Chain A
Amino acid sequence: MLRYVLSRILSTIPVLFGVTIVVFLLIQLIPGDPAKSILGADATPEAVEELRNNMGLNEPLIVQYGAWLSQLLQGDLGYSYTLHTPIIEELMPRFVNSLILTVASMLICVTLGVILGLISALKKGSFFDKASMGVALIGASMPVFWIALMLMWLFSIKLNIFPVSGMYNMRNPGGFMDLLHHIVLPAFATATVSLAVIARLTRSTVIDILQKDYVNYFHSFGLSKSKINIVHVMRNSLPPIINISGLQVGYIMGGALFSEVVFNWPGIGQALYVAVTSNDYPTIQAGILLIALTFVVVNLVVDLLNVWLSPRLQDSIKAE
Chain B
Amino acid sequence: MTTKWKQSCKAFLSDKMATTGAIVILFSLILAVFASWIAPYNPNVVAEGSTRLMPPGTEGHILGTDQQGRDILSRVIFGTQTSLISAVIPVIIAAIISVVLGVIAGYYQGFIGNLIMRTMDIFFAFPAVLLAIAIAAILGPGLLNVIIAMVIVRIPYMTRVVYTDTLQESQKEYVEAAKAFGIGDIEIMFKQILPNVLPSLIVYSTTLAGVTIVTVAGLSFIGLGVQPPTADWGRMASDGKKVLMQGYAFVTFIPGIAILILSFSFSMIGDGLRNALDPYERSKAKEKKKISRKTSQHIA
Which residues of A pack against B, CB within 8 Å? 14-16, 18-19, 21-22, 26-27, 29-31, 137-138, 140-146, 149-150, 152-153, 157, 193-194, 196-197, 200-201, 205, 208, 240, 243-244, 247-248, 250-251, 253-255, 257-258, 261-262, 272-273, 276-277, 279, 281, 284, 288, 291-292, 295-296, 299
Contact = CB atoms under 8 A, between A and B. Distances in A.
B130 interface: yes
A150 B129 CA distance: 21
A82 B135 CA distance: 20
Contacts of A295: 125-127
Given A141-B263, A143-B214, A258 B221 contact: yes
Given A22-B122, A142-B260, A244 B214 contact: no
B122 A138 contact: no
Contact of B127 (A140, A142, A200, A291): A291
Interface string B196-222: 000000000000001100100110011
B129 A288 contact: no
Contacts of B11: none
B129 A255 contact: yes
Interface of B: 118-119, 121-123, 125-131, 133-135, 137-140, 210-211, 214, 217-218, 221-224, 234, 237-238, 240-241, 244-245, 247, 249, 252-253, 256, 259-260, 263-264, 267-268, 271, 286, 289, 293-294, 296-297, 299-300
Contacts of B217: 143, 145-146
6 contacts: A149-B240, A152-B244, A201-B293, A247-B296, A250-B128, A251-B297
B133 A250 contact: no
A208 B286 contact: yes
B119 A145 contact: no
A144 B218 contact: yes
Contact of B264 (A31, A137, A157, A244): A137
A141 B210 contact: yes
Contacts of A272: 130, 133
Given A140-B267, A145-B221, A262 B241 contact: yes
Most central of A140, A145, A146, A200 by chain B CB within 10 Å: A146
A200 B137 CA distance: 32
Contacts of A22: 122-123, 126
A157 B271 CA distance: 36
Contacts of A27: 138
A296 B123 CA distance: 11
A240 B293 contact: yes
A141 B267 contact: yes
A157 B244 CA distance: 9
Contacts of B234: 143
B89 to A, nearest CB: 19
Given A143-B259, A248-B297, A254-B127, A137 B119 contact: no
Contacts of A281: 138
Complex A-B, nearest 6 residue pairs according to Cβ-Cβ distance, in ascending order: A254-B129, A18-B122, A254-B127, A250-B127, A141-B263, A247-B297
B299 A208 contact: no
Given A22-B122, A157-B244, A253 B130 contact: yes
A151 B210 CA distance: 22
Contact of A143 (B133, B137, B218, B286): B218
A142 B214 contact: yes
B133 A257 contact: yes
A99 to B, nearest CB: 14
Contact of A140 (B128, B221, B299): B299
A254 B129 CA distance: 5
A180 B76 CA distance: 37
